[in-house]
Amino acid sequence: MEKHIIDIRNVSKSFGEHKVLKNINLYVKKGEFVTILGPSGCGKSTLLRCIAGFEQATEGDILIDGKDISDVPPHDRPVNTVFQRYALFPHLNVYDNVAFALKIAKVGKDEIRKRVSKVLKIVGMTDYEDRDVLSLSGGQQQRVAIARAIINRPQVLLLDEPLAALDLKMRKDMQMEIKEMHKTLGMTFVYVTHDQEEALTLSDTVVVMNEGEIQQIGTPTDIYNEPANAFVADFIGESNILDGIMLEDKRVHFLGKDFDCVDEGFEKSEKVDVVLRPEDIYILYAPNLAGQFEGTVTSCIFKGVHYEMWIVTDDKCELMIQDYNAFEVGSRVALIIKASDLHVMKKERLTNTFDAVMVDSNHVEFLDTKWECLPQEGISGGEEVKVHIPFDKVDLMDTVEDGAIEGEVRFILFKGDHYHLRVRTTSGNKDSIYADTKYVYDDRDLVGIKILPQDIEIER
Amino acid sequence: MKITRFLNKRSSLGIPYFLFMLCFVVAPLVIIVFFAFTDGNGHLTFDNFLRFVSNPKDLNTFVYSMVLSMITTLICLVVGYPIAYILSDSRLCKSQVMVILFIMPMMVNVLVRTLATVALFGWLHLPLGEGALIFGMVYNFLPFMIYPIYNVLNKLDKSYIEAAQDLGANPVQVFLKVVLPLSKEGIISGVMMVYMPTISTFAISELLTLNNIKLFGTTIQENINNGMWNYGAMLAVVMLVIIMVLNMFDKSPEEGGSEMGGLV
C-alpha cells in the first residue's frame, strides 16, 4: 500500500450556520502534487487552512503521516504554507524572512547561512539577501515566500493561490518553476487555485471542489476527458453541455438526432447530460454529405491559435466550436461529432425534491415557506411528504417581491437552448432550488422564486 | 475678471488656512522666540538662557518633570499595550463598545477628570502628592497610549501572525518577533502622545499635589503670571525644543506613517 502523507477523514467545517466544508474525504500520497481546484468561495482555502492548523475542523480528523493532528497547534505541524499575498514580514529583509523558521528552531548561525543561500539559489534569488521585502516585485516576493516555506524541509508544502496576484506571463513562468521545484525537492505539494489551466498544468492529481463538496478527484486528463458531472465539465475548460436521452448502450439522442457514443451502463431512455468540447466538433461548409447535422454561424472571433465560433443548429440550439479555420458569420455549416469525442454523464438530479410537511389540504411547507398546492385527497395536516418540482416549472421573477421567496443565483450552466440555474434561497437553511430558464441571469443576481400550485407534485 | 480667476485657482483655496496659521501659530511662536532672546527693553540677549542653566531650582524642576513624564509614559505603555492588544483581538473583544469605553475619557475635559480624581482620593482617604500625581497623569493620558497602538494592531494583517505560527513560532515568539516589531509605529506615536503633554502639564500637578509639587509647566506659568515675560518665554522655548526633538522620532520610515499609528 502506498503511503498516505495526508489523510482527511469526514472533515466538515462550519462558520456559524454556514457549512463551508461538507464531509470531505481525501488522501494525498507522499511526494504527490495535488491541486484543489474550485471557484471562489467553494471552501478550498478553508480546507488548506484546516491542514495548516489555522482553522479547526468542526467534525472529522486530519492525519499527517499517520498521526491525528487535530489538536496540534500550527507551529508544531510538519507543514509550511506559501500564503496568497505572500505575508512576508515587512520589518525583516529577505535573508531574515527566509531564516525566520531556522532562527526560531535555534539552528546554528553557520548552518542558517548555508541553508538560506541554498534555498535562495533554488528560487533564483541569490543576490537579494539584504533587500527590503517591500522593494521586491510580486514575482520576487513570491520566490522569497517559497524559499521561506521550504527552508525547514516540511513534509508537506501548502500553497494557497500563490500565483493569483501575478500577471499572465509571470504566472506561466512561475508555474514551470514550481513544477521544477516539486521534482527537485521531492516534497508533497498541496496547491489551491481557482485557475483550471494552472491545475491541469501542474498537478498529478486534481481535486475539484464546489460549495464545500468534492466533485471529482482524478488525474488532469481524467478530469478533462471524463468529467464526473455538469459542474466539472463546465468549470474545466470550455464545453457545450446539452440535455440528451440514452437510447441504449453506445447510442444517445440529443440535438434532435441519434448519435453513436462509447458510454455504457445507463438505463434505457435515461435522461443524461452530453458534453462536447468545442475543439472536438468538426466543422465543414454545408452541404456536405459527411455532416451529421447542420447549422448557421452567428459569430466568429479570432482567439490567437484558433477561431471561436457560435453556431445555431436547426432546432435552435447554440454550440461553441473552436477551429483553425474561420467560417464567416451567416454561412451554413455541416457538423460532425465522433463517437469517442462525446462524453455522456449521469444527471445528478432530474427534478427538485424536498422534504415537506402538509399544513392543510391545499398548503404544503418546504424551503421554510408555506406554498399553495392543489387540494390533496387523504393527506392530513402535519403529515410528512416529499414534493417534486420540475426544473422548468420554477419561475424566476426579476422583481424579488413577485416571488414567494427570495433566492440568489449561484451557478449558471448554459445548455444550448436554455440555462440551468442553481438558486440558493436567502432565508432559513439556505437550501437550493434548480431552475431551467430561457432568460439570462448573472451570478449572484437576486430573484423571486414562484411556483404555481399545479406544478407542485406531492408524494407520500 | 482677474479677481475671479485668482479665486478659482486651486491654490487660492488655501489662503484662509494660511492666514489662520500665520495669526495663531506662526505669530505667537515668533513672539515667544523674540521674548526669549531679548531683555525687558527689547535688546538682544542670551541672559534668559544663562539664567535658566545657572538656576538650580528651575533646572531641578525641569529634570524632575522629565523623569516624572517618563515614569508616566512607561506606566501608560505597560498598562496600555495589553489593553490595546485585547481590544484589537476580535476573539477576545467582540464588541466595538469596549473600544469606545476605553477611548471615552478623552472626550471629557482634563480639569473635570482631575477634579474627579481629587474627589476620589479624598473619598478613599488617600493622601494627595507624588503618587496621586502619577496616578492622575496615567489616568488622564492612558487613552492617548491605547488608541494609536490599538489602531496599528487592528490594521495588522493577520496573515503575518499566521505565517509566523506556520514557521514554527509559539505564541510568545509570535508576539516578540512579529507583533511587537510591527506595532512599533503605534508605540512611538503613543509615547509621543503621552510624553509631550505630560511635560507641559501644570493643572494636574497643582490639583493633585495641593500645589506641593511643581512641574516645569507650573514654573513657566508662574513666571509669565508674575510679569517675567522674557524668562518665561525662554523656558517655553526650551520645552518646545525638547518636544520638537522628540517629534523627529515619530517619523515613520515609509510614507503613510500617520495612517499606521497617528491619532489624528
List, for residues B14-31, the tens digit of each pLDDT value. Answer: 888 999 999 999 999 999
A425 phi, psi to nearest 5 deg: -70, 150
Task: Please check whether residues A368 and A455 belong to one and the same domain.
Answer: yes
| β-strand pairing of A205-210 with A33-37 | parallel
Q: Which of A75, A86, A158 to mutate to test the interface with B (most CBs of B within 10 A)?
A: A75
List, for residues B232-242, the tens digit of each pLDDT value. Answer: 999 999 988 98
Q: Which of A167, A199, A232 delimits the end of a domain?
A: A232
What is the model's pLDDT at position A368?
A: 86
List, for residues A24-59, the tens digit of each pLDDT value. Answer: 999 999 999 999 999 988 899 999 999 999 999 999
CATH code at position A451 = 2.40.50.140
Neighbouring C-alpha atoms within 13 Å toward the C-beta of A155: 17
Tell whether A53 lies on the interface with B, counting CB pairs under 8 A.
Answer: yes
**Cα–Cα separations (whole angstroms), residue B123 to A18, B113, B115, B118:** 53, 15, 12, 9
pLDDT at B254 over 50: no
Establish, for the pair of chains A and B, how many residue pairs have beta carbons separated by less than 8 Å: 65
Residues of chain A with pLDDT under 70: 1-2
Q: What topology does CATH give the domain B56-261?
A: MetI-like fold (1.10.3720)
List, for residues A232-263, the tens digit of each pLDDT value. Answer: 998 988 899 999 999 989 999 999 889 999 98
Of A142, A84, A157, nearest to B159 by C-alpha is A84
What is the model's pLDDT at position B253?
A: 46
Task: Please check whether residues A357 and A330 belong to one and the same domain.
Answer: no
ipTM greater than cut 0.90: no
Of A420, A416, A424, A414, nearest to A444 by C-alpha is A424
**Cα–Cα separations (whole angstroms), residue A244 to A226, A280, A345, A414, B184:** 17, 18, 10, 14, 65
User: Residue A268 is placed in which grid cell?
Assistant: 434505457
Distance from CA of A94 to the nearest CA of B (A): 15
| β-strand pairing of A4-15 with A271-276 | unpaired
Of B10, B142, B144, B167, nearest to A157 by C-alpha is B167
Burial A356-380 (b: 16+ CB within 10 A, else e): bebbeeebbebbeeebebeebeebe
pLDDT at B73 over 70: yes
Residue ranges per domain, chain B? 56-261
pLDDT at B228 over 90: no
**Cα–Cα separations (whole angstroms), residue A202 to A181, A191, A217, B194:** 11, 9, 15, 55
Residue pair B118/B128 in contact (Cβ under 8 Å)? The answer is yes
User: Residue A86 is placed in which grid cell?
Assistant: 505572500
State which residues form the domain around A371.
352-459
pLDDT at B262 over 50: no
451570478: which residue's cell? A443
User: Residue B178 is placed in which grid cell?
Assistant: 512579529
Task: Please check whether residues A319 and A342 belong to one and the same domain.
Answer: yes
Task: Please check whether residues A124 and A249 belong to one and the same domain.
Answer: no
Burial A68-95 (b: 16+ CB within 10 A, else e): ebeeeebbebebbbbbbebbbbebbbbb
Task: Please check whether residues A356 and A342 belong to one and the same domain.
Answer: no
Name every chain B residue with its beta carbon within 8 A of the beta carbon of A148: 163, 167
Q: Do A152 and B173 touch (CB under 8 A)?
A: no
List, for residues B136-191, the tens digit of each pLDDT value. Answer: 999 889 989 998 999 999 999 989 999 999 999 999 999 999 999 999 989 999 99
Task: Please check whether residues A14 and A113 belong to one and the same domain.
Answer: yes
A238 within domain boundaries: no
Q: Which of A283, A315, A346 delimits the end of a domain?
A: A346
A237 within domain boundaries: no
Choice between B66 and B100, residue whose per-residue pLDDT is larger: B66
Give the Cα separation of B131 and B127 in Å (integer): 8
Q: Do B254 and A134 touch (CB under 8 A)?
A: yes
Question: Total domain count for chain A?
Answer: 3
Burial A121-138 (b: 16+ CB within 10 A, else e): ebbebeebbeeebeebee
> What three-state secondary structure class fits A18?
strand
Residue pair B48/B36 in contact (Cβ under 8 Å)? The answer is yes
Facing residues of A333 across strands? A285, A295
What is the model's pLDDT at position B257?
A: 39
Give the Cα separation of B218 and B196 in Å (integer): 15
Residue pair A362/A279 in contact (Cβ under 8 Å)? The answer is no
What is the model's pLDDT at position B69?
A: 92
CATH code at position A75 = 3.40.50.300
Confidence of residue B250 (pLDDT cuts 50, 70, 90): low
Task: Please check whether residues A361 and A318 belong to one and the same domain.
Answer: no
Name every chain B residue with its beta carbon within 8 A of the beta carbon of A81: 162-163, 166
Residue pair B118/B140 in contact (Cβ under 8 Å)? The answer is no
A97 within domain boundaries: yes
Task: Please check whether residues A176 and A283 belong to one and the same domain.
Answer: no
pLDDT at B255 over 70: no
Task: Please check whether residues A184 and A322 belong to one and the same domain.
Answer: no
Task: Please check whether residues A395 and A327 belong to one and the same domain.
Answer: no
Residue B52 is which amino acid? F
User: Residue B171 is placed in which grid cell?
Assistant: 505564541
pTM: 0.80
Q: Which residue of A has its CA nearest to B184?
A: A91
**Which residues, other chains included, contact A425 with Cβ-Cβ below 8 Å and sequence gap of 6+?**
A367, A368, A405, A406, A407, A408, A431, A432, A433, A449
Tell whether A155 lies on the interface with B, counting CB pairs under 8 A.
Answer: no
What is the model's pLDDT at position B1?
A: 60
pLDDT at B57 over 50: yes
Q: Where are the alpha helices (DSSP H) in A70-167?
A: 94-104, 109-122, 138-150
Of A331, A254, A243, nearest to A293 by C-alpha is A254
Task: Please check whether residues A185 and A37 belong to one and the same domain.
Answer: yes
Task: Please check whether residues A19 and A157 belong to one and the same domain.
Answer: yes
What is the model's pLDDT at position A116?
A: 94
Q: Closest CB to B167: pick one of A53, A85, A101.
A: A101
Name every chain B residue with its beta carbon within 8 A of the beta carbon of A53: 165
Would you mind telling me the total number of residues written for chain B in this entry?
264
